Structure 1
Amino acid sequence: MAKSSGRLVWNHSTHIPGLIPILERLVQWEGITTVTPGVISRSKGHAPALKLRVSVPIRGGYKVIARQGKTVQEVFFVTQLSQGELEGAIQACMR
């Protein structure tokens, strides 16, 4: 993990509990330019612990799904990292 000039966009007033500290660590990761938390919704399933999963590629990066309990939040990453590298960065920052 190297220092980078990434930024965390604050465009929503609510976030999944515990998500912001992880995102703040991820924006420091080399190759991650911008992290934007998105829409919060409810799911039928239940995830007891906070999980982040790379969902689909978007222009310039990836959409990541954050889940905790029955709450789901989209998070958009603008990054030069490959999907595998982003998954590795997420795992390292979740420890």
Structure 2
Amino acid sequence: MDDSQAGRVVLTHSTHIPGLIPILEKLALHPQVKTLTPAVIGPVRSHSPKLQLRVSVPIQGGFKLIARKGKTAQEVFAITGLSQDQLKAEIATLLKSSRR
């Protein structure tokens, strides 16, 4: 795959945090994002009224992201050439535009 092609969102689970997939599909359009894979989903103690998506830790070839909404969290693995700061900025822009 060359850099001009859009990345892809891998849907291996049947359950996702509400609103997560549209954000990931928009993020996958960035030329340096190769693959976004939503993974483990589970309950958390605190409540997050709005969808949050934050960069967690580096992984080989990218970063692990944590999506949160309500009392649910979901891991998302991002394979990307973006730096951590660039990825944070791109996510912030997408979340901001989705709340308008």
Aligned length, in residue pairs: 93
2:6 & 2:71 partners in 1: Cα distance?
33
Match of 2:10 in 1: 9
* 1:18-49 deviation per Cα after TM superposition (whole angstroms, max 9, x unaligned): 00000000000120000000000100111111
Q: Percent identity?
A: 55
Q: TM-score, normalised by structure 2?
A: 0.90
Amino acid at match of 1:44: R
Moved over 3 A (4+): none
Is residue 4–residue 27 contact of structure 1 (8 Å, CA) maintained in 2?
no
Structure 2, gaps ≥5 residues long: none
Q: TM-score, normalised by structure 1?
A: 0.94
Amino acid at match of 1:45: S
Matches within 5 A, 1:1-95: 4-94=5-95, 95=97
Give, in angstroms, the shift of residue 93 of structure 1: 1.4
What's the C-alpha RMSD, in Å, of the aligned pairs?
0.9
Range moving further from structure 2, 4-13 or 71-80: 4-13
